[in-house]
Amino acid sequence: MEKTFLIYGGTVVTPRETIPANILIAGEKIQAILSPEDKPHADETFDATGLTILPGIIDAQVHFRDPGLTYKEDLETGSRAAAAGGVTSFLEMPNTKPATTTAQALADKKKRASEVSYVNYGFFIGATKDNLDVINSVPNVAGIKIFMGSSTGDLLVDTPEALEEIFKNGKRLIAVHAEDEAILKANKEKFRQATLHNHYAIRSPEAALTSTKLAVKLSQKYNRRLHILHLSSKEEVEFLSQNKPWQVTVEATPQHLLLSAPEIYDQKGTLAQMNPPIRTRDHRDALWQALEEGIIDMIATDHAPHTLEEKARPYGEAPSGMPGVETLLPVMLTEVAKGNATLDQIAMWLAERPAIVYSIENRGFLREGYFADLVIVDMNEKRTVKREQIYSRCGWSIWEGQELTGWPVLTMVNGGIVYHRGNFTLGSGKELTFRE
């Protein structure tokens, strides 16, 4: 007989409305969403009075560095940080060492995650110029990742011929890091004595727009599902507002939506360096408007940790990327507290849309019959982000020193509690299933 769990007294964010309700869980699934007066007997209960219950967050772009770079992060520490942040599922990128470009590398990652992940997991297969058979045949992946411009790692597919071959063969979703490599190289030549403040000129809006245009063109030509990762420029927003066919979806990061240059570089130095770069306020504001208008479909973190020692190197030697999986939800709930977003929008951008975009079975929504992946948050809790409280192995956050409003109290994965007020329990995370 399945174990039952009743969460009562809370406010539940469902796809239709935010309402006072109780949630009855049987085994791994949500059995019923009940009226506040309906409190059936259950094996375990949790009093959520004064708290808000959201669908578990799906962070659809993380780099957990496992294998090969585990001194920065691994699947255990990354998933633990995710659980603390209310993230119940993650999709992990292929630029590890070795890169996830073979069936064996993918199988090894899945095996490792099955042993150590606190939350649900899925992986991308990385495209190269010569692994077309692999990317279309490996089982159960979130999609194919293409680096159209060089970033962290050695995965790069930048020739029109190679890109055309990938887009015209197969049916899987293609997710792109869209920066044009030729433009990046030309800009580096212009800024030979570059400083951090040249970063967003070197990795220019032109580089992003040119690559995004090419990806959309190929998507339309071959009617291929395309997901544009970490959109960063107002030029791309303007283009997509007129050129976004049904099979194209778009995401942005909290960093690009909420931070701006040059002030973030003055405040945080190379900690704020990422690819594509954080740009000026006009870009930030255009991205937020695009999110509200639905041009941008969803939010993911691009959690890309490096050590403080690595980030302390001078510009040109410091790696690009920053952590974010455990602060994603509090950062966005703070926007709710400020009146800039609603709880319905947070659930949509951080859970529902990622599940739809990646065709993840029975997750992303608080619905009867769906897996019991949820996060219970205290919308009134204010907490200043402190380095010593970061669970990610890298031990720092771009949001350090900021007071955020709205923090996870409890995270549940497949009906099991994986995080509760600083305490963790391993054993509930599972491999996600992607419909193809």
Is position 378 annotated as part of the catalytic site?
A: no
67: cis peptide before it, omega within 30°? yes
The span from the CA of 235 to the CA of 283, in Å, is: 8
Write down the pTM of the prediction. 0.97
Given the residues 158, 297, 302, 378, select the one marked as catalytic. 302
pLDDT of residue 56: 98
Query: Does an H or E element contain 346, and which?
Result: helix 343-347
Distance CA 128, CA 104 (A): 15
Residue position matching structure tokens 């976004």:
244
Cα angle 251-253-257, degrees, rounded to a multiple of 5: 105
What is the number of H-type helices and E-type strands within the chain? 15, 17
If you average pLDDT over every residue of the chain, what do you get? 96
Q: What is the pLDDT at residue 156?
A: 84
Lowest pLDDT segment from 154-168, 197-211, 229-243, 303-317: 154-168
Contacts of 246 (CB under 8 A, 6+ apart): none
What number is the average pLDDT over the span 420-427?
97
What's the residue count for the chain? 436
Q: Is pLDDT of 153 > 70? A: no
| Spatial separation of the C-alpha atoms in residues 210 and 203, rounded to whole Å | 12
Share of the chain above pLDDT 90, in %: 95
- Using DSSP's 3-state secondary structure scheme, residue 188 falls into helix
Q: Tell how strand 416-420 and strand 403-413 pair up.
A: antiparallel
Strand partners of residue 227: 175, 249
**What is the rounded CA–CA span in Å between residue 65 and residue 72?**
7
Ranges of each domain in the chain: 4-53+370-424, 56-357
Over residues 213-245, the pLDDT tens digits come to: 999 999 999 999 999 999 999 999 999 999 999
The verdict on domain 56-357 having CATH code 3.20.20.140 is yes
Interval 66-78 mean pLDDT: 98
Record the tokens describing residue 256, joined without a space: 């690009």
pLDDT above 60 for 370: yes
Rounded to whole angstroms, the Cα distance separating 59 from 87 reads 7
Q: Which pLDDT score, from 0 to 100, does residue 155 have? A: 75
What was the pLDDT predicted at 141? 98
The pLDDT confidence band at residue 151, using thresholds 50, 70 and 90, is low
Both structure tokens of 56: 């578990």
pLDDT band at 150 (very low <50, low <70, confident <90, very high): low
Residue 394's nearest CA partner among 87, 98, 81 is: 81
Q: Mapped to the 3 state alphabet, what secondary structure does 352-413 carry?
A: HHHHHHCCECCCCCCCCCCECCEEEEEEEEEEECCHHHCCCCCCCCCCCCCEEEEEEEEEEE
Instruction: Name residues whose C-beta falls within 8 Å of residue 90's C-beta, 6 or more positions apart in sequence.
Output: 58, 59, 60, 62, 64, 78, 79, 82, 119, 120, 121, 122, 325
Pick from 54, 52, 26: nearest CA to 40 = 26
- Say how many CA atoms lie within 13 Å of 97 toward its Cβ: 9
Amino acid letter for position 35: S
The answer to whether the beta carbons of residues 118 and 90 sit under 8 Å apart is no
Residue 112 half-sphere exposure, CB side, CA atoms within 13 Å? 20
CATH topology of domain 4-53+370-424: Urease, subunit C; domain 1 (2.30.40)
* HSE-CB for 5 with a 13 A CA cutoff: 18
